[in-house]
Amino acid sequence: MVLLVEWSLNYPWLYFIVICISMMCEGAITSILPTETISHFGKKRGKQVYSYMFSSFGVSAIAGSILVALLQYEIGFTGMLYLCLALTLVSMFLTFLYSSGKNFKYAPLMQQTVRAQ
């Protein structure tokens, strides 16, 4: 992935492809989140949890805009690209940590909620 990002700095068409793939992944996540949230937290609690998760998109958009305004002139476009790559890798790590279930703090609570319904 790092190599793909490095190549995309030199080839505009590859950068376009990387951005398109990124946007497709974001759209897929947005469509999968309601179903996964309800399956993990149940019908009653899942709606509440999803509303918090959905509002995080707006908060992250504002935080991202502020981050770009503060850091873009200091680290440049390449630095911002690497910063976004690092945040994406952290997100991927947290996703794998969550999907394993054993390291997730609320995994037993989620199993009880699903069994109750």
Encode pLDDT of 70-104 as tens digits. 888 888 878 888 888 888 888 888 877 776 555 45
Output the pLDDT for position 112. 53
> Taken in order 58, 59, 64, 65, is the CA torsion positive or negative?
positive
Give me the mean pLDDT over the 26-53 stretch. Answer: 79
List the chain domain ranges. 1-97
- Label residue 62 by pLDDT band (50, 70, 90): very high
Q: Which residues touch 72 (CB under 8 Å, ≥6 apart)?
A: 80
Q: Are 10 and 4 in contact (CB under 8 A)?
A: no
Q: Which of 17-26, 96-105, 107-116 shows the lowest mean pLDDT across its residues? A: 107-116
Q: CB neighbours (10 Å) of residue 78?
A: 11
Residue 108 has pLDDT above 80, yes or no: no
| Residue with the larger pLDDT of the pair 114 and 21 | 21
Percent of the chain surpassing pLDDT 90? 2
Output the pLDDT for position 115. 52
Residue 117 has pLDDT above 60, yes or no: no
> At how many degrees (to 10) do helices 107-116 and 12-100 cross?
80
Output the pLDDT for position 110. 53
